[in-house]
Amino acid sequence: ILLDEYNKKSVETVCSYCGVGCKINLSVDGENVLVTPKQTDDKYNSLCVKGRYGHSYIFSEDRLKSPLVRKYLLDDGKKDLKSEFIEVDWDTALDIVSKKLVEIKRTFGGDSIGFFSSAKCTNEENYLLQKLARQIIGTNNVDHCARLCHSSTVVGLIQSVGSGAMTNTMDDIVENASTVFIIGSNVTEQHPVFGVKIRRAVMNRKINLIVADPRYIDIVDFSDIYLPIKPGSDVALMNALCKIIIENGWEDKDYINERCENYEEFKKYILSINLDECVKVTGIDYEILYKVAKKVALEKPTALIWAMGITQHNHGVDNVFALSNLQLLTGNIGVSGGGLNPLRGQNNVQGACDMGCLPDVFNGYQRVMDEEIVKKFENFWKMDGDFKLSRVVGKTVTEMVDSLNDKSIRALYIMGENPVMTEPDVNRVVESLKNADFLVVQDIFPTETSKFADVILPASSFAEKEGTFTNTERKINLIKPVIKPLYNSKPDLFILSELANRLIKMLSLKPMGVYAKWDYESAKDVLDEINATTPIYGYAKYERLLNGEDLYWPVYKETGNETSILHQKKFSRGKGKLHIVLNKPPKERPNEEFPFVLNTGRELYHWHGGELTRRVKELLKVCSEPIVMLNTNDAKSFGIKDGELIKVISRRGKIIGRAFVTERLKSGEIFGNFHFPDGNVNKLTIKALDSVAKIPEYKVCAVKIERVG
Ligand code: SF4
């Protein structure tokens, strides 16, 4: 740790909330936190309400202050979730964790243990978590919340263009696009500073803005064309646009000839689809579809932007294929101002993916099924004796939770995630967690999940540690500590290193490979190892970041960085592939008993499971309880007034929230969030998974409503 950085009055670091990754000046004065935008980052000095006023959680009284273990563990007794938590020192806690993990590994094998990494932790910490899982425990059971937000993007884009990340930068889009098409992304609330930049581009450069979303979200006010599509109809929409483009000869023929494959089969299929049926499925008139197709194809470059409205479906990968098709057909990828631009959610969800916290890839998306790659890592991380890494793809977060029930997973190690708030159908998760033989939660606060833990390890917040975050546009940013770790908390990097060294000793392993040891003294030491083992981060050196260089991966060169726009000359997979995709219905549709479609998402003033923002009094002043949006006519027919409490019920659970009666969504649709435990919409959502990416369908399930009075 850079001790000389601690307790400075102010440091330049990165906002801890969303994937935009705004650079901030973070100052502390006693327990007061002041955040201002880094002066040179954005000439308008924008930060959103969470970035500017949402960091007082650092000093929250609720912070975990000491390691906690259940008393039964100290007494060498049987697992007992009624046993109270006792404060212990770090040695005691880590000795217990390592002893239990070794016991379970020896008895049931490494694959009986699962690891959740965290999109809120640094790249270095995520790298270490997957290294610990793979090198020491011997399992690929490592995953994180990207499974729940953009796994379908990663899977879909890798198969269509060869790389799962945003192709262009945010500044490139707002400075060079002629048309911006946003689908399934509430950008003004979830990536607010990028939303501001898009609005400025509309006002100042007069770009075309097209927005497709079932809800009338704020950015619609700035759009030329709004498509209020029916939930789950994205493939039908994209196929219809492709058909209109081909029928009118607006496709980019040279681009397709030179850079794409599978065009003839694709064209044959697209020309066979029925546009009247697409109009019916999407709810959008032909004339509007025609206008959109023309703008996307002819008023180029067109940047396509999406988020979870596209990905969180049981056919999320198909949705992503459909978006790629549109951009390939119109020659809008690999060009400035265009591209495929998935907006990543959390501050470091891109980085956690890059670091291999996924069950099928090592760091840098190097596949665990590729013998050559596995041998390379066996060489890097070699231990004495018959050392072998697993060649079997591990389990996803949802699968790991379910596997607690049939005991194919015995222990879970959860770093900085809260599945009891964020998984679909959370009542299922609660029951599964009770079946764990051993559960460790490492976090900065007690969470809804840590109630079921056997050991809780107090981690330090982003303000107390160093490392790197990678934002939504693949830009690697340095974070710096402004204070020492509070109370008896430790940075996750320290906790993982201490645990790994204990496990190595207990398992009598002897590190032999070039990067086998766990003797890191700083985040820089870990980043050096990441540089050496992760080709796309090869020259993302600590010194360059410290010098303020803007580095977007892949960073293949010692100097300069020309990769801010991907796929310029050729696609990462060679040619871009057009996929034939059929519109598929959601898993659960409304019926007489459950007549409403529930759509889920987030509010501007809160963040994900609310673990941080529920501890910020400034944000609670504006939004302190769960909100349920419903259409004015529906409210009237149920006698529900704006601001009343209402009950929402699905086949899996029920919640109570505050009614927000509005014309912003159509009759028959409900919208809720997952920020507050009592009103958590994930008590209602369905565990219907995309068959390839295993992302759950958070965006559509059937519910009914009742007046509470
Ligand atoms: Fe933080 Fe995102 Fe807001 Fe920027 S836009 S200040 S990164 S929450």
ipTM of the complex: 1.00
Ligand 1 centroid distance, CA of 39 (Å): 15
pLDDT of residue 9: 72
**CATH 2.40.40.20 residue ranges for the chain:** 596-707
Task: Give 152-200 pLDDT, tens digit per residue.
Answer: 999 999 999 998 899 999 999 999 999 999 999 999 999 999 999 999 9
Section 571-598 average pLDDT: 94
**Does the pLDDT of residue 5 top 90, yes or no?**
no
Pocket residue to mutate for ligand 1, from 14, 22, 57, most atoms within 8 A of Cβ: 22
**CATH 3.40.228.10 residue ranges for the chain:** 151-343
Task: Give 461-478 pLDDT, tens digit per residue.
Answer: 999 999 999 999 999 999
User: Would you say the CB of residue 612 lies under 6 angstroms from ligand 1?
Assistant: no
Task: Give 528-537 pLDDT, tens digit per residue.
Answer: 999 999 999 9
Q: How many CB atoms lie within 10 A of CB 206?
A: 10
**Does the pLDDT of residue 44 top 70, yes or no?**
no
Give me the architecture of the 3-59 domain, per CATH.
Answer: Single Sheet (2.20)
CATH of 68-141+357-477+489-533, one of 3.40.50.740, 3.90.1300.10, 3.40.50.10160, 1.20.120.450: 3.40.50.740
Name the nearest CA neighbour of 553 among 473, 479, 478: 473
The enclosing H or E element of 68 equals strand 68-70
Task: Give 436-457 pLDDT, tens digit per residue.
Answer: 999 999 999 999 999 999 999 9
**Does the pLDDT of residue 232 top 90, yes or no?**
no
> In the Cβ-directed half-sphere of 131, how many Cα atoms lie within 13 Å?
32
Mean pLDDT of the chain: 94
Alpha carbon distance 387, 262 (integer Å): 43
pLDDT band at 560 (very low <50, low <70, confident <90, very high): confident
pLDDT of residue 218: 95
User: Would you say the CB of residue 51 lies under 6 angstroms from ligand 1?
Assistant: yes
DSSP per-residue letters across 114-171: EEE--TTS-HHHHHHHHHIIIIII----EE-THHHHTHHHHHHHHHHTS--S-SS-HH
Task: Give 118-130 pLDDT, tens digit per residue.
Answer: 999 999 999 999 9
Name the nearest CA neighbour of 563 among 535, 527, 543: 535
User: Would you say the CB of residue 170 lies under 6 angstroms from ligand 1?
Assistant: no
Minimal-distance CA residue to ligand 1 atom 3: 48
pLDDT of residue 40: 60
Minimal-distance CA residue to ligand 1 atom 1: 51
Q: Which atom of ligand 1 is nearest to the CA of 193?
A: 5
**Does the pLDDT of residue 220 top 70, yes or no?**
yes
Our CA angle for 431, 437, 440, nearest 5°, is 90
**Does the pLDDT of residue 23 top 70, yes or no?**
yes
Quote the tokens at residue 281.
């499925």
Alpha carbon distance 545, 182 (integer Å): 32
Minimal-distance CA residue to ligand 1 atom 6: 51
Q: Are 530 and 355 in contact (CB under 8 A)?
A: yes
pLDDT band at 8 (very low <50, low <70, confident <90, very high): low
pLDDT band at 108 (very low <50, low <70, confident <90, very high): very high
**CATH 2.20.25.90 residue ranges for the chain:** 3-59
Section 277-296 average pLDDT: 97
pLDDT of residue 564: 86
Q: Are 474 and 572 in contact (CB under 8 A)?
A: no
User: Would you say the CB of residue 47 lies under 6 angstroms from ligand 1?
Assistant: yes
Alpha carbon distance 332, 326 (integer Å): 8
pLDDT of residue 183: 97
User: Would you say the CB of residue 53 lies under 6 angstroms from ligand 1?
Assistant: no
Beta-bridge partners for 303: 180
Alpha carbon distance 102, 105 (integer Å): 5
3-class DSSP assignment, residue 665: coil
Pocket residue to mutate for ligand 1, from 12, 14, 15, 188, most atoms within 8 A of Cβ: 15
Alpha carbon distance 366, 538 (integer Å): 14
Task: Give 489-524 pLDDT, tens digit per residue.
Answer: 999 999 999 999 999 999 999 999 999 999 999 999
Quote the tokens at residue 651.
């086949």
Name the nearest CA neighbour of 145 among 694, 615, 701: 694
Specify the CATH number of the domain 596-707: 2.40.40.20
Q: What percent of the chain has pLDDT over 70?
A: 98
Give me the architecture of the 151-343 domain, per CATH.
Answer: 3-Layer(aba) Sandwich (3.40)
Pocket residue to mutate for ligand 1, from 18, 46, 198, 613, most atoms within 8 A of Cβ: 18
**Rounded to 5 degrees, what are φ and ψ at 593?**
-75, -40
DSSP assigned state of 641? P
3-class DSSP assignment, residue 260: strand
